[in-house]
Amino acid sequence: MIRSVLLHGFVIAALIALEPLLSEYHHGNLARIMVLAVYATGYNILFGYTGLLSLGHAMFFAAGMYGCALMIRLAEWSVGPAFIVGVICALIAGIIVGFLALRTIGVGFMIVTLMFAEASYLTILYYNEYTRGDEGFTIAQSVRTIAGLDLSDTTTRYFSALTLFSICLIASAAVVQSKAGRVLVAIRENEDRVRMLGFDPFRYKLFALILSAVMAGSAGAAYAVLFGYAGASFAAVQYSIFPLLWVLLGGPGTTLGPLLGTVLMFYLVDYASGTIMPGLAAMVETQFGIEAPGLASAYLLLVGVALVLLVLFAPKGLLGTLRARMIPWLP
């Protein structure tokens, strides 16, 4: 327990210490990554610890994003109350979806969550008059303030993202190491045995789903106010797949895996699309006189290869594998 507290404290301290040291580029990236890592941390509670693979988490992210952004845009609320509304929207969505989707298991759960998410996405498009549908809308820089702090300022944005991430990381660590957390892991391993022991798996799964939805919604609301944009693409299916990939890469069922996975995937995509593949295309053109524009855009192939290698050689993700082979106490 002490080692766990020290580790999480060290990670948060390291993120604080990094702030003045990072270049402007990495500074902005890390702020965004921490917001997305909140989303992944929430996903990890449901998938990594409870064993429920949702294909519809983008609806919770979007619920938070739109709940917050629409209150600012239409009701002219300030950021603080609007952010809370966003989180409440995600909470309500989590309760409704949980009660219905948790009647299914396995592939059925995946399909039902996917269908709910698709319905949410289409609803955003349908109410284009308010949401501006696929185009989305911006939130003016002048209204993105909280307690007198300008959220578009780089340092404020960084520490706002860090604060939210720290809260969610600590909450995640506290939950998974509590009695309830151990029941979640037990459900993941053998739900029938948990039921036989006298626990109600439905209640625990519902709790995990709601907590996961709230974290996803808080990430969505934070994205809207920190980066000034809300759009339907965040409710589309790929934004349900992203947290799954981040968690798989970092290590499902590890508290720090979501952060690691989000960092690595972000920079893998960034370097593959901006440096590696265009460089390869330029080399082919220079060396062989062949124009290869398709090569520059083939970076997702590189990302795919990385994921295949991960599944083959580290199926538990990076931190999961580290825990299995070297650090058994890793939370």
Partner 1 sequence: MATDDTNRRNLLKGAAAIGAVAAGSQLLPGAARYAQAQSSAPIKIGFQVHRTGIGAAYGRWYDRTTKAAAKLINDEGGINGRPIEIVAEDDGTDPKRGAEVIEKFATKHECDVAFGTLFSHVVIGSAPRAGELKLPYFVVSEGHHVASGMLNRYTLQPGITDVKSQVQSMAPWVADNLGKKVTMIYPDFAFGHDHRDYFSEAIERRGGNVIAKIAIPPRETSFFKYLPKIPKETEVLYHVMVGPGVLTFVKEMGEYFGDKRPEIFGFIDSLEAVDITSPGLEFLEGSHFWEGYPRYAGKDQSAHDKFYREAVGVDDTGASLSDPKDVSTFAHMFGCWETLHILKAGMEAADYKGPKDRQALIEAVENMDVFPESRAHPQGSKLFNGRTHQAFGHQHISRVEGGKLVPVHKTSIFDTFYEDETDYTKMSF
Chain residues that interact with partner 1, rule: CB under 8 A: 23-25, 27-29, 32, 122, 125-126, 128, 132-139, 141, 152, 227-229, 231-234, 270, 273-274, 278, 293, 296-297, 299-300
Q: What are phi and psi of 65, to 5 degrees?
A: -60, -50
Assigned token pair, 329 = 């106490």
Residue 137's Cβ-side half-sphere holds a number of Cα atoms within 13 Å equal to 19
Shortest Cβ 142–partner 1 spacing (Å): 10
Given a contact cutoff of 8 angstroms between Cβ atoms, the answer to whether 98 and 209 are in contact is yes
Count the residues in the chain: 331
CA dist., res. 186 & res. 183, Å (int): 5
Shortest Cβ 40–partner 1 spacing (Å): 14
Instruction: Using alpha carbons only, give the angle 242, 317, 114 rounded to the nearest 5 degrees.
Output: 30
- Comparing CB distances to partner 1, the nearer of 10 and 130 is 130
Shortest Cβ 302–partner 1 spacing (Å): 12
- Comparing CB distances to partner 1, the nearer of 135 and 200 is 135
Shortest Cβ 60–partner 1 spacing (Å): 16
- Comparing CB distances to partner 1, the nearer of 65 and 208 is 65
Given a contact cutoff of 8 angstroms between Cβ atoms, the answer to whether 11 and 3 are in contact is no
Give the Cβ contact number of residue 14 at 10 Å. 9
The residue whose two tokens read 């907590």 is: 211
Shortest Cβ 50–partner 1 spacing (Å): 27
Shortest Cβ 261–partner 1 spacing (Å): 17
CA dist., res. 331 & res. 327, Å (int): 9
- Comparing CB distances to partner 1, the nearer of 245 and 324 is 245
CA dist., res. 288 & res. 20, Å (int): 45
Give the Cβ contact number of residue 163 at 10 Å. 13
Assigned token pair, 119 = 């319905």
Shortest Cβ 70–partner 1 spacing (Å): 15
- Comparing CB distances to partner 1, the nearer of 141 and 178 is 141
CA proximity to 85, closest of 242, 204, 205, 225:
225
- Comparing CB distances to partner 1, the nearer of 26 and 103 is 26
- Comparing CB distances to partner 1, the nearer of 104 and 233 is 233
Given a contact cutoff of 8 angstroms between Cβ atoms, the answer to whether 4 and 328 are in contact is no
- Comparing CB distances to partner 1, the nearer of 164 and 230 is 230
Q: Which helix (H) or strand (E) holds 146?
A: strand 145-146
